[in-house]
C-alpha cells in the first residue's frame, strides 16, 4: 500500500487529500488490528495460562507452591511424577480407560457402519423415519437417564465390569456415529457400487469390500469422537462400577484428592499425566476432529 | 425377486443391532423415566403409584427450584454469552491473521481435556491459599478482591461459570467453518458497491450465520442442562446449595434410593431439553437437522 502511495506522488492536491485519507484509514486499520490481537491473545492466555501453571506447579515442592504460586521450581521435582504413578495406581486406570475406549469405539463403529450403510445406500420404506429417530438421540441429555441405565446394567449382570461401560459408551455415541458415518457414505459415488453389482457382488460383499474401505475417513472421524466420549466420560463410570479394578482414569482423578491428601504437587503431576494422552491424540487426529465438526457433522 | 429378498434380509440384519441398542438405551429409558416418575420407589418397600406427587414434592423443594434456576442461568450463559463470543472470535479469525491455525488448535484444547481434569485444575486455580487467581490479584495490587472463590456464597456460582465460558474453541471451529462456506463473490460484489469490512460482516456474514447460530445455541443450551461433573467435583452443590444443578440433584436423589423423585427430576430435565430445542428452532427458523451430502 505504501509503495502505491509513493507512486502517486505529491503531484496534485487531490492526491494529497487522498493520501491523508489513506493515512487515516491506515491508522484505523492498525487500531483495529491491535484490538483484534488483544482479544485473540486474551482467549489464548485464558486457555493456556491455567494449563502452564498446573504443569509448572507439578514440578515444584509443596512448600514452594504455598510460598509463591508463580515461582519457578528451584529444582525440578521429577519425583512428583514418580509419586503420581505410585500413589494413584495410574497404570491400572490407564489400562482400563484404554481398553474400554478402544472396545467401545470398535463396537460403536461396527454397529454404526452397518446401519449407516443401509440408511445411506439402500432404498426402503421408513428409511428416513428410522434415520430421524436414531439421530434424535443426539439431543437427549443422557444424564437424565441415570436410574434406567443403572437398572439395565444391573439387570444384565454387567454391574462393576468394564463391559458395562463398553456397552453404555458405545450406545451413548451411537446416534452421532450413525449420523457421521451415513453422511460420509452418501458421498461415495453410486457407480462404484453399481459396477460391483454387475460384477456379481452381493449386498454383503459390496459393504465389506467396497463401501467400508472407502469410508475410512468417515469412520476415523466418528471413531475419534467416540473415543473421546469414552475416554472423558465420568458419571456412568461412577454409577456403573465400584471396584478399583474396573475404575477408569476419569474416576481415578476424582479420588486423587483422597489419595494424595496434602501432596498437591504430586496430584497435579497425576492430572498432567492424565491429560497427556488426549492432547496427543488431538494433535494426531486434529484434522479428523475439525472436519468431523465442520462437515456439517454436528449440525444437529 | 430372489436378489431383492436377499437385500431385504441384509437391510434387516444390518439395522437390527443399531435399533436394538437404540431401543434399550434411548427409547426404553425415556419411557422408563417417564412412567416411574409417577411412583414411590425406594428399592425396599413395594412400588406404589402416587400420581403427580413426586412432581409436587419437587416443586416444594427449594433445592430443586435452585437447581432449575441455576441450570437456566448456566444454559443461558452458554447460549447467549458463550456462543456469541465464539462467533465474534470466529469472525476475527476468518480474516486469517498470522497464526490463525495455531490459535484455532489451542482454543480447542479444553474440549479435548476431560471436564474432570479441568475441574481439578480450576479448583487449584481458585484455591484460597495457593491458587493462581488470588496470586494474580495480589500481583496486580488488588489484594482486597482475594477470596475463597468456591467457598464464598456470592462467588461460587459465577466462578463455576467463568471457568468454561471463555473456552470458546468448540463453537468457534463450527462457526469458522460455516463462514468459510460463504461464497467469496458476495464480498466482492459488496466491496465494489463500496461496503467496508464491518458493513460486509453485518450485512453478509451475520445473516448467513443465522442457521448455524441456532444450532450452536441449541447444542450449548442442551449441554448446559447435562452439566454435572464441574459442580460434583468442585463444590458438590455447595455452599448452601448455591451451585446445585439438575443432574446433581437427580444423582443425589438416586443415591438416596428416592428413584421416583429422581426420575421426576429426569423428566423435568428431558422436558427442558425439548423446550430449548423447540424455542431456539422457532427463533432461528432455518435450524433443522441437516443431512450431509
Task: Give pLDDT, residue A16.
Answer: 58
Structural contact between residues A204 and A135, judged by C-beta atoms closer than 8 angstroms: no
What residues contact A70, with CB distance under 8 A and at least 6 apart?
Answer: A53, B132, B135, B139
- Choose among A139, A211, A219: nearest CA to A177: A219
A227 touching chain B per CB within 8 A: no
Task: Give pLDDT, residue A17.
Answer: 58
Task: Give pLDDT, residue A132.
Answer: 92
Give the closest of A69, A203, A274 to B132, CB-based.
A69
Q: Which residue of A has its CA nearest to B109?
A: A279
CA A186 to chain centre: 24
Rounded Cα gap, residues A141 and A235, in angstroms: 12
Structural contact between residues A272 and A90, judged by C-beta atoms closer than 8 angstroms: no
Give the closest of A132, A174, A268 to B124, CB-based.
A268
Shortest Cα distance from B30 to chain A (angstroms)? 7
Q: Which residues of A touch B229 (CB under 8 A)?
A: 234-235
What residues contact B30, with CB distance under 8 A and at least 6 apart?
Answer: A140, A145, B270
Cell numbers placing B178:
460455516
Task: Give pLDDT, residue A123.
Answer: 86
Inter-chain CB proximity B11 and A290 less than 8 Å: no
Task: Please give the backbone phi and psi of residue B33, each rounded to the nearest 5 degrees, phi first.
Answer: -60, -45
H-type alpha helices, B127-235: 132-139, 156-165, 169-180, 184-192, 197-200, 206-208, 210-226, 229-234
Q: Which CATH number applies to B52-283?
A: 1.10.3720.10
What is the predicted ipTM? 0.88
Q: Which residues of B touch A25 (CB under 8 A)?
A: none
Task: Give pLDDT, residue A24.
Answer: 78
Per-residue pLDDT tens over the stretch B76-90? 999 999 999 999 999
Structural contact between residues A248 and A93, judged by C-beta atoms closer than 8 angstroms: yes
End-to-end CA separation in angstroms for chain A: 45
Structural contact between residues B180 and A300, judged by C-beta atoms closer than 8 angstroms: no
| Domain layout of chain B by residue ranges | 1-36, 52-283
Secondary element (H or E) of residue A26: helix A13-57
Task: Give pLDDT, residue A9.
Answer: 42
Q: Which residues of B touch A155 (CB under 8 A)?
A: none
Taking 50 as the pLDDT cut, the residues of chain A under it are: 1-11, 297-300
Rounded Cα gap, residues A44 and A38, in angstroms: 10
Inter-chain CB proximity B269 and A141 less than 8 Å: yes
Per-residue pLDDT tens over the stretch A231-270? 999 999 999 999 989 999 999 998 888 888 888 999 999 9
Inter-chain CB proximity A137 and B108 less than 8 Å: no
Give the closest of B18, B173, B229 to A115, CB-based.
B18
Rounded Cα gap, residues A210 and A194, in angstroms: 11
Task: Give pLDDT, residue A14.
Answer: 53
Q: How would you classify residue B49: left for phi > 0, otherwise alpha for psi between -120 and 50, otherwise beta?
A: beta
End-to-end CA separation in angstroms for chain B: 31
Inter-chain CB proximity A174 and B21 less than 8 Å: yes
Q: Which residue of B has its CA nearest to A232?
A: B114
For Cα atoms B139, B145, B148, give the angle at the middle one, nearest 5 degrees. Answer: 100
Secondary element (H or E) of residue B252: helix B246-255
Rounded Cα gap, residues B27 and A60, in angstroms: 51
Taking 70 as the pLDDT cut, the residues of chain B under it are: 1-6, 285-293
Rounded Cα gap, residues A212 and B255, in angstroms: 44
Amino acid at each position: 500500500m505504501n509503495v502505491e502511495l509513493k507512486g502517486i506522488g505529491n503531484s496534485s492536491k487531490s492526491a494529497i487529500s487522498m493520501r491523508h485519507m489513506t493515512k487515516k484509514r491506515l491508522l484505523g486499520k492498525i487500531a483495529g488490528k491491535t484490538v483484534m490481537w488483544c482479544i485473540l491473545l486474551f482467549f489464548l492466555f485464558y486457555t493456556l495460562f491455567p494449563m502452564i501453571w498446573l504443569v509448572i506447579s507439578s514440578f515444584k515442592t509443596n512448600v514452594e507452591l504455598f510460598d509463591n504460586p508463580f515461582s519457578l521450581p528451584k529444582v525440578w521435582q521429577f519425583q512428583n511424577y514418580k509419586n503420581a504413578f505410585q500413589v494413584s495406581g495410574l497404570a491400572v486406570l490407564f489400562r482400563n480407560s484404554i481398553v474400554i475406549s478402544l472396545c467401545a469405539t470398535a463396537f460403536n463403529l461396527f454397529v454404526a457402519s452397518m446401519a449407516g450403510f443401509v440408511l445411506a445406500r439402500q432404498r426402503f420404506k421408513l428409511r428416513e423415519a428410522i434415520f430421524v429417530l436414531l439421530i434424535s438421540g443426539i439431543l437427549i441429555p443422557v444424564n437424565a437417564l441415570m436410574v434406567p441405565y443403572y437398572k439395565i446394567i444391573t439387570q444384565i449382570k454387567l454391574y462393576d465390569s468394564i463391559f458395562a461401560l463398553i456397552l453404555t459408551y458405545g450406545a451413548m455415541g451411537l446416534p452421532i456415529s450413525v449420523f457421521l458415518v451415513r453422511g460420509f457414505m452418501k458421498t461415495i459415488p453410486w457407480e462404484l457400487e453399481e459396477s460391483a453389482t454387475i460384477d456379481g457382488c452381493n449386498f454383503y460383499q459390496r459393504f465389506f469390500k467396497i463401501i467400508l474401505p472407502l469410508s475410512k475417513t468417515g469412520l476415523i472421524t466418528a471413531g475419534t469422537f467416540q473415543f473421546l466420549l469414552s475416554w472423558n466420560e465420568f458419571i456412568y463410570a461412577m454409577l456403573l462400577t465400584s471396584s478399583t479394578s474396573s475404575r477408569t482414569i476419569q474416576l481415578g482423578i476424582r479420588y486423587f484428592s483422597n489419595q494424595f491428601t496434602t501432596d498437591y504437587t504430586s496430584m497435579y503431576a497425576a492430572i498432567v499425566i492424565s491429560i497427556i494422552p488426549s492432547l496427543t491424540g488431538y494433535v494426531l487426529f486434529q484434522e479428523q476432529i475439525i472436519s468431523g465438526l465442520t462437515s456439517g457433522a454436528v449440525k444437529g | 425377486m430372489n436378489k431383492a429378498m436377499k437385500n431385504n434380509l441384509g437391510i434387516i440384519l444390518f439395522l437390527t443391532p443399531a435399533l436394538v441398542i437404540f431401543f434399550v438405551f434411548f427409547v426404553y429409558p425415556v419411557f422408563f423415566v417417564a412412567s416411574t416418575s409417577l411412583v414411590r420407589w425406594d428399592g425396599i418397600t413395594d412400588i406404589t403409584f402416587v400420581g403427580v406427587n413426586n412432581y409436587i414434592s419437587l416443586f416444594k423443594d427449594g433445592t430443586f427450584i435452585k437447581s432449575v434456576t441455576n441450570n437456566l442461568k448456566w444454559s443461558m450463559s452458554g447460549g447467549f454469552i458463550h456462543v456469541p463470543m465464539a462467533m465474534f472470535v470466529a469472525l476475527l479469525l476468518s480474516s486469517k491473521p498470522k497464526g490463525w491455525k495455531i490459535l484455532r488448535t489451542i482454543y480447542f484444547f479444553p474440549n479435548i481435556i476431560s471436564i474432570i481434569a479441568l475441574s481439578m485444575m480450576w479448583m487449584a486455580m481458585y484455591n484460597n491459599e495457593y491458587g493462581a487467581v488470588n496470586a494474580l490479584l495480589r500481583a496486580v495490587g488488588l489484594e482486597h478482591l482475594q477470596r475463597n472463590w468456591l467457598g464464598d456464597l456470592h462467588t461460587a456460582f459465577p466462578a463455576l461459570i467463568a471457568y468454561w465460558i471463555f473456552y470458546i474453541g468448540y463453537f468457534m471451529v463450527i462457526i469458522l467453518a460455516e463462514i468459510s462456506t460463504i461464497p467469496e463473490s458476495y464480498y466482492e460484489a459488496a466491496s465494489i458497491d463500496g461496503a467496508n469490512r464491518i458493513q460486509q460482516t453485518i450485512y453478509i456474514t451475520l445473516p448467513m450465520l443465522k442457521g448455524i447460530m441456532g444450532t450452536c445455541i441449541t447444542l450449548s443450551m442442551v449441554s448446559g442442562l447435562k452439566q454435572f461433573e464441574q459442580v460434583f467435583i468442585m463444590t458438590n452443590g455447595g455452599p448452601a446449595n448455591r451451585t446445585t444443578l439438575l443432574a446433581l440433584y437427580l444423582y443425589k436423589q438416586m443415591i438416596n434410593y428416592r428413584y421416583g423423585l429422581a426420575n421426576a427430576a429426569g423428566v423435568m430435565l428431558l422436558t427442558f431439553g425439548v423446550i430449548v430445542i423447540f424455542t431456539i428452532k422457532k427463533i432461528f427458523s432455518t435450524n433443522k437437522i441437516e443431512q450431509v451430502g
